[in-house]
């Protein structure tokens, strides 16, 4: 499967970087064709300017700086997001990437006379979010898990109508033991591969 991995963390030696490596290892072992995007390492600009917002209904050719992102989205059959959950949601870098790249004529289109947008990323049949939470699962449930809702609801509906979204999370990272973290790293690659079947 053509798999786009979107990795988001500013610190290279973070636990999330070890999660990323385990995910890439699992995907490689399962012979997936992989493209890795490390948004911080690439210095991706998540800022949606007023000028760019004014281009909201224009084709992607009006934003040539995002051509690589557009091509990646049209190429892949699956997206694996690897990121930490901060303030109960997506990091600003990841949200900014979505805001800027899931654009008209790429993720959706609004046909003339229609009152609802139509999905365009029908090539994508699997979404997997691999994330860590400093707090417990209970705390996240009480917060409503907005990051999970964005990926499993908003993002998913722009993909193939049969697209499945999977959530793989390590809760309570701040108080976790070395054994628990090691277990997560030992299993996360396999869990991602299973989610993409």
Classify 166 as helix, strand or coil. Answer: strand
Judging by beta carbons within 10 Å of its beta carbon (0-12, 13-18, 19+), is residue 12 exposed, middle or buried?
Answer: exposed
The answer for residues whose C-beta is within 8 angstroms of residue 40's C-beta and 6 or more apart is 8, 9, 10, 93
Q: In the structure, what pLDDT confidence band is assigned to residue 7 with cuts at 50, 70 and 90?
A: very high
Residue 87 gets the label, from left (phi > 0), alpha (psi -120 to 50) or beta, of left
User: Domains in the chain, please, with CATH?
Assistant: 2-195 (3.40.50.360)
CB 111 within 8 A of CB 54: no
Longest CA–CA span in the chain (Å) reads: 57
pLDDT on residue 142: 83
Quote the DSSP letter at residue 88: T
144 has a pLDDT exceeding 80 = no
Enter the pTM of the model.
0.95
What's the rounded Cα separation, in Å, for the pair 126 and 164? Answer: 5
Other CB atoms closer than 10 Å to residue 167's CB: what's the count?
15
Whether the predicted pLDDT of 171 surpasses 80: yes
| Euclidean distance between the first and the last CA atom of the chain, given in angstroms as a whole number | 9
Q: Percent of the chain scored above 90 by pLDDT?
A: 89
**What span, in angstroms and rounded, lies between the C-alpha atoms of 75 and 35?**
10
> pLDDT by residue (tens digit) across 68-125?
999 999 999 999 999 999 999 999 999 999 999 999 999 999 998 888 999 999 999 9
Please compute the mean of the pLDDT values over residues 40-63 and round it to a whole number: 96
Q: Mean pLDDT of all residues in the chain?
A: 95
In tens, the pLDDT along 19-38 reads 999 999 999 999 999 999 99
Percent of the chain with pLDDT over 70: 100
């Amino acid at each position: 499967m053509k798999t786009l991995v979107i990795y988001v963390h500013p610190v290279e030696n973070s636990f999330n970087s070890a999660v990323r490596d385990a995910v890439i290892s699992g995907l490689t072992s399962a012979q997936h064709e992989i493209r890795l995007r490390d948004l911080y390492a690439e210095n991706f600009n998540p800022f949606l300017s007023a000028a760019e917002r004014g281009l909201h209904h224009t084709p992607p050719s009006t934003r040539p700086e995002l051509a690589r992102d557009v091509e990646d989205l049209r190429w892949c059959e699956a997206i694996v997001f690897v990121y930490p959950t901060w303030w109960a949601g997506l990091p600003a870098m990841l949200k900014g990437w979505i805001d800027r790249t899931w654009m008209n004529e790429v993720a959706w289109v609004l046909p003339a006379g229609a009152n609802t947008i139509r999905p365009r990323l029908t090539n994508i049949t699997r979404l997997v979010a691999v994330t860590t939470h400093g707090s417990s699962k209970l705390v996240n449930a009480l917060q409503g898990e907005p990051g999970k809702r964005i990926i499993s609801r908003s993002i998913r509906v722009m993909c193939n109508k049969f697209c499945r979204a999977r959530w793989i999370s390590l809760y309570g990272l701040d108080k976790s033991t070395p054994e628990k973290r090691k277990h997560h790293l030992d299993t996360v690659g396999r869990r991602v591969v299973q989610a993409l079947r």
